[in-house]
Chains A and B, each alone.
Chain A
């Protein structure tokens, strides 16, 4: 069975500082990996996805993520965070060519301090 681990429940970062959110997955075949963001009262919004090819993927809002098969990781990064980035971030893995239901991690709550 596939699974996703987000080791950090909360992360606090100063505005303007860099950010890295960790994600480790367990999946037998080539995974389909996603990062979503959820703001209070908002639906989940896709930040970026990895299916194949270049292991460094660019997403919206200045986010990027790097797929490392040897470490079963798909960490999310941003060089300089803004106060509006405060939200809940979820990593997810999918199968079936990306068509099956996703398995999400428990999320990381990002706090931005002035």
Chain B
């Protein structure tokens, strides 16, 4: 059983650097979601894809954030010019029906 995988699991970067995270969904899941979770909070929705089309973006997704799902399979989330406030756990989920399956997350620390 291959669930949702995310790489890297941890990323430490310096303020101002760009970072990219990857999410590999469960195969045949046509929807893919990105969330952000900060300490003591629940996950906050960022964006989601149906196949390769990005259908919704949260106001939390500033211009420094970009997400892609080029062939409707894996997805990448890039953060440009990172800020300390970007430090968080970035969660990916995939779905075929109306149940989302979450990956383990990528923990980003911006120094």
Contact = CB atoms under 8 A, between A and B. Distances in A.
A43 B45 contact: no
Contacts of A44: 43, 91, 93, 102
Contacts, number: 61
Interface of B: 3-4, 31, 33, 35, 40-48, 50, 56, 58, 91, 93, 95, 97-105
Contacts of A90: 42-43
Interface residues of A, number: 25
Interface in A74-114: 90, 92, 94, 97-107
Interface in A14-73: 32, 36, 41-46, 49, 51
Which of A42, A98, A99 lies at the interface centre, i.e. has the most chain B CB atoms within 10 A of its CB? A99
B102 A43 contact: yes
A39 to B, nearest CB: 11
Closest 9 CB pairs of A and B: A98-B98, A104-B42, A101-B45, A44-B102, A43-B102, A43-B104, A104-B43, A90-B42, A106-B42
Nearest to B99: A46
A94 B98 contact: yes
Contacts of A46: 99-101
Nearest to B101: A46
B98 to A, nearest CB: 3
Nearest to A97: B98
B40 to A, nearest CB: 7
